[in-house]
Amino acid sequence: MGQEIDMMRLYPKGKSRIGTRPDISEEDRRISKQFGFEYFDGDRRYGYGGFNYHPRFWTDTVALFRDHYRLAENASILDIGCAKGFMLTDFKKLMPKAKLAGIDLSAYAVEHAYPEVKDLIKVGDARHLPFPDKSFDLIIAINTLHNLKRPDCIAALREVQRVTRGSAFVMVDGWHNDAEAAAMREWVLTAETMMHADEWRELFAEAGYTGDYFFWTVS
């Protein structure tokens, strides 16, 4: 199995989210899970409340990925659940010779992708990656795979194993104690699989996933 490693440690933390979600109904969650306009750019109760590019988000994190995984300047990198391609945009700035690709289930996000990377992104599903075996040096999936039900998380991780020829990193909603679990149940809108970190490790083993991982918690 890979390593638990916080590859998001340089991502800006922002204000604390704990206790700030207004009462969310099942109908709100249903709307969020469509990953359409409402989720990205609609009211905050459905998701981001405006999903816009800013270099302060990913610039340091993509440099950390490059250095940690010792990526060559022409490395191939796939972002699964890339949304509007903001991380890919900063990879492109940092590593202009890299072969970059992104997929996302959301036709809305792909249609509204950042212009610099629009041609690199297509609509696709993590369960069926539209790439041949061993296509990428690094595959990244941040806060994407937990949006699938457990058997589909396994299918998606098997796809990551198939398509990487080097490294992989996934971040998923996972808790370590009851307080984290409670905060997550209140805050999270779209996840279908949220569980204890140990249960995720079991799932990774079941999928035969050997890449790295980290757990997102509400903070």
Ligand X SMILES: C[S@@+](CC[C@H](N)C(=O)[O-])C[C@H]1O[C@@H](n2cnc3c(N)ncnc32)[C@H](O)[C@@H]1O
Residues 6+ away with beta carbon under 8 Å from 190: 29, 32, 33, 35, 39, 47, 147
| Size, binding site for ligand X by CB under 6 A | 16
**Is beta strand 76-80 parallel, antiparallel or unpaired with respect to 136-142?**
parallel
Least distance (Å) between residue 21 CB and ligand X: 15
Helix (H, G, I), strand (E, B) or coil at 77: strand
Pick between residue 34 and residue 210 the one whose CB is nearest to ligand X.
34
Least distance (Å) between residue 141 CB and ligand X: 7
Which amino acid belongs to residue 56?
A: R
Which amino acid belongs to residue 68?
A: H
Residues 121-150 that bind ligand X (CB under 6 A): 125-126, 142-144, 147-148
**Across-strand partners of 175?**
196
Residues 54-93 that bind ligand X (CB under 6 A): 80-81, 83
Pick between residue 2 and residue 57 the one whose CB is nearest to ligand X.
57
- Region near ligand X per CB under 6 A, out of 60-68, 97-105, 129-137, 199-207: 97-105
Least distance (Å) between residue 137 CB and ligand X: 19
Pick between residue 74 and residue 185 the one whose CB is nearest to ligand X.
185
Residues 6+ away with beta carbon under 8 Å from 137: 69, 71, 72, 75, 76, 77, 164, 165, 166, 167
Q: Kindly list the distances between the CA atom of residue 115 and the CA atoms of 108, 118, 125, in Å, as whole numbers in the listed order.
A: 14, 5, 22
Interface with ligand X (CB under 6 A), residue from 7, 35, 95, 194: 35
Residues 144-183 that bind ligand X (CB under 6 A): 144, 147-148
Residues that bind ligand X (CB under 6 A): 35, 80-81, 83, 103-106, 109, 125-126, 142-144, 147-148
